[in-house]
Amino acid sequence: MSPQTMASFQELMKELKVEAVKRPDLQLVQGVPLPSPSCETWDQLCSFQARPDDLLIATYPKAGTTWMQEIIDMIHNNANLEKCRRAPTYVRVPFIELVPPKPIPSGLTQVQEMPSPRTIKTHFPFQLVPKSFWEQKCKAVYVARNAKDVLVSYYYFIKMNHGLPTSGTWEEHFDAFLTGNVAWGSWFDHVKGWWEAKDKHQILYIFFEDLKEDLKREIKKVAEFLEKDLKEEVINKIALHTSFDMMKDNPMANYTTLPSFIFDQSVSPFMRKGSVGDWKNHFTVAQNETFDEVYALKMAGGPLKFRTEL
């Protein structure tokens, strides 16, 4: 059974045992490290049949996935708050490569049992996305966030999320991130891969920092891409509902519906800071220098420009 509603999801959650939740290892798929359970459905993912009206929300972890999921659900539902509160984010927009502990169904099962039109989340780098999305000419919205803030956000997320492999102390996490030895691999390869793909497919490339700078402008961009002609008052409502403060207090968006043995929000809230530039509170001067050197090498000469402060 797939949890299409809050009620059916809560029923499944009651059956989930604490001991079923264990931090997995990383396992390589085509050279990309993934949480090992995600590799279980790899063969099925390769043969996944997309439908032309499927929409993908693709991100590197911590780049603003949940934010875009809420924005797009609001756009699809014409800013109807009641409809958008029908279920938590992860039920409304299933995470296709996620394999949670039983009896929670895999993301793939959830997607397959979902009626169209489906909006689907993935953290896959472009080359791992099931090919049929592109054969079916599906649209995708990719959200990219500057690497320094992603590194920090990912550090706290790994600590609180018991479904992810550990990346160690702050210093160890810093090195693991720069070498791409974290779940979903190298941030550098991810943002560049999707950037290169964007003009060959129907991909809208959005920056977290632009969402922070002018949320209404970016919502309009997404709505236009989805061919939704929204009135100004609807845009205003979406911007209000998807502000950090509103989403932080929204149980359908802030992951407080998950038990603390999966997401321990006493370690770090899912909706943590939502800012641009928090890295300055964490990086030492030496780490910043190391980071900038690696960044310059990996991003050299490329067209992608990120803002690390606003």
Residues of span 209-238 touching ligand A3P by CB under 6 A: none
For the bound state, the minimum distance from the C-beta of residue 247 to ligand A3P, rounded and expressed in Å, comes to 4
CB within 8 A of 34, min separation 6: which ones? 26, 27, 28, 97, 183, 184, 185
User: Could you tell me how far CA 148 lies from the centroid of its own chain?
Assistant: 17
Catalytic residue (choose from 76, 123, 173, 241):
123
d(CA 88, CA 93): 9
For the bound state, the minimum distance from the C-beta of residue 32 to ligand A3P, rounded and expressed in Å, comes to 18
d(CA 172, CA 161): 17
User: Tokens 């959005």 belong to which residue?
Assistant: 206
Q: Which stretch binds ligand A3P (CB under 6 A): 25-33, 42-50, 167-175, 266-274?
A: 266-274
Q: How many residues bind ligand A3P (CB under 6 A)?
A: 20
The single residue among 226, 244, 277, 282 that binds ligand A3P, judged by CB under 6 A, is 244
User: Tokens 């129907």 belong to which residue?
Assistant: 202
Burial class (CB within 10 angstroms; exposed 0-12, middle 13-18, buried 19+) of 286 = exposed
| Binding of ligand A3P by 59 (CB under 6 A) | yes
Percent of residues in the chain assigned helix, strand, coil, to nearest 5: 45, 10, 45
- Residue 241 appears among annotated catalytic residues: no
- Collapsing DSSP to helix, strand or coil, 204 comes out as strand
Residues of span 62-81 touching ligand A3P by CB under 6 A: 62-67
The single residue among 128, 140, 164, 247 that binds ligand A3P, judged by CB under 6 A, is 247
| Binding of ligand A3P by 122 (CB under 6 A) | no
| Binding of ligand A3P by 153 (CB under 6 A) | yes
| Binding of ligand A3P by 257 (CB under 6 A) | no
Residues found near ligand A3P in the complex (CB under 6 A): 59, 61-67, 149, 153, 156, 242-244, 247, 271-274, 278
Active-site positions read 123
